[in-house]
A and B are shown apart, each in its own frame.
Chain A
Amino acid sequence: MTEAATAPHALPVEPATAPPARDLFSKFDPLIAEREALLATGVRDPFAIVMERVKSPTEAVIRGKDTILLGTYNYMGMTFDPDVIAAGKAALDQFGSGTNGSRMLNGTFRDHVDAEEALKEFYGADHAMVFSTGYQANLGILSTIATKGEYIILDADSHASIYDGCALGNAEIVRFRHNSVEDLDKRLGRLPAEAGKLVVLEGVYSMLGDIAPLRQMVEVARKHGAMVLVDEAHSMGFFGEHGRGVYEEVGLELGTDVDFVIGTFSKSVGTVGGFCVSNHPKFEVMRLSCRPYIFTASLPPSVVATAATSIRKLMTADKKRAQLWDNARTLHRGLTDMGFKLGTAQPDSAIIAIILDDQQQAVVMWQALLEGGLYVNMARPPATPAGTFLLRCSLCAEHTPEQIERVLAMFGAAGRAVGVIS
């Protein structure tokens, strides 16, 4: 036996230290400098807004001031629905505050199953799988269903969760130009005929609020033997006869035209969570193979209980649907008439984007609106397509005609003050 093996491994009295070879935060210096330069001009940080109170789906108190919310994605205004709140409270009382586990182990409660049943009813689907967020639904489904040697073909303007789902998996990733059926066709045509392929589309694109030509795109995808996934996060509740999304609106069907629909609870459903529905006969195997489903905590019972109740109410929310479309048309027309440049020629969806020249103009305009009592989202590259600066409005079915009128007046005043319109 050697001496080294018998001697205790004591730490040196004064361990040698050295500074890191390189500060890993150095790469963020340009971003830090840009933010500091922006704040040095005296504007408030558009990405650090705190809601002190939320009074309704359309009103909050920000810095002590009553503010109209026009950026929340609470399209159907379900966050304060009395039935939804009651369901959440009852689940909180019966099942406690959390699940302490993954869906695969001890994290599946009655209300997780009920939320999946509600989704199956809503979509007329054979299978539904609930994830902890919409982001994780894309992360999980995309990284699991396409793997090495297979292809995912996605729109260049796809949401970050779609890109990240692709990055987590091992499939080959191919982008096509935003909403170009011809570009999709061309790129699918260059792929090996026998390879597994998944075309990923979105019903509504969240930055400009434009919709995809889904009929033509699905036709092209099928022509090349690809499966189709549509993310309907921004359309659930108010597109199509049953509120299933743009794919339903244009006459496509789950199972025959579309293989998977991804969605979220954090928009029209008014709570938190994500899901995928499908009629694929083998879909349930995803529960055994999808890492962002298995290796994370399941949603609290109160959250899934609110989701189940909200989804069932959305099935018959015709009046809300009509009001939301009415609000979108009124706002779009009013802003167009004032001379603002919008992301879409007509109100394609409940998102209306105002396109501005640069960051400075966008932030000053955003601040002028906030001081007037209106909150909208400011979006900037790289989140925006074509590197544009946007003020993004998302309407709610609960916005009243009076509120829309006030919103338009505030846009007019701020737009003239900043020089965006004359």
Chain B
Amino acid sequence: MSDRQAIFDTVTAQIEPFNKKGIALEEGTTFAGDLEWDSLTVMDFVAAVEDEFDVLITMNMQAEIETVGQLVDAVQKLKQ
């Protein structure tokens, strides 16, 4: 399994507790549009992802991340 796929699987597993509507998670799934997350959910989720991968996703970076795929790319870059 590629490193990116492993990150994708971990990220989607992290999303599940916050995936109240049971949306199918794909690269293009958006946090605000598809998952309908508010800012509080985003805060909790980002903290969970940061702790899982031991990285820091600043609010400046969060502003650029709209989809699951973009988050996976960001985590992969931060881990390098």
| A387 on the B face (CB < 8 A) | yes
Contact of A175 among B38, B51, B59 (CB under 8 A): B59
A386 and B59: CB pair below 8 A?
A: no
A156 and B43: CB pair below 8 A?
A: yes
Contact A190-B56, Cβ < 8 Å, known A382-B39, A387-B38: yes
- B43 — which chain A residues lie within 8 A by C-beta? 156, 175
B53 to chain A, nearest CB (A): 10
B59 and A382: CB pair below 8 A?
A: no
Q: Which residue of A lies closest to B39 (CB)?
A: A382
| Total interface residues in chain A, CB < 8 Å | 18
B40 and A387: CB pair below 8 A?
A: yes
A191 and B59: CB pair below 8 A?
A: no
The contact string, 1 if C-beta is below 8 Å from chain A, for chain B 30-47, is: 000000001110010011
| B13 on the A face (CB < 8 A) | no
- B55 — which chain A residues lie within 8 A by C-beta? 190
The residues in B between 1 and 52 inclusive whose CB is less than 8 angstroms from any CB of A are: 38-40, 43, 46-47, 50-51
Q: Which residue of A lies closest to B51 (CB)?
A: A186
- B39 — which chain A residues lie within 8 A by C-beta? 382
Once the chains are docked, how many angstroms separate the CA of A151 from the CA of B56?
12
- Chain B interface helix/strand/loop/mixed: helix
| A317 on the B face (CB < 8 A) | no
Contact A174-B56, Cβ < 8 Å, known A156-B43, A183-B47, A186-B51: yes
Q: Which residue of B lies closest to A387 (CB)?
A: B40
B11 to chain A, nearest CB (A): 18
- A175 — which chain B residues lie within 8 A by C-beta? 43, 46-47, 59
Contact of B56 among A187, A381, A382, A385 (CB under 8 A): A187
B40 and A173: CB pair below 8 A?
A: no
Once the chains are docked, how many angstroms separate the CA of A166 from the CA of B58?
12
A residues with CB within 8 A of B: 151, 156, 166, 172-175, 177, 183, 186-187, 190-191, 381-382, 385-387
B residues with CB within 8 A of A: 38-40, 43, 46-47, 50-51, 54-56, 58-60
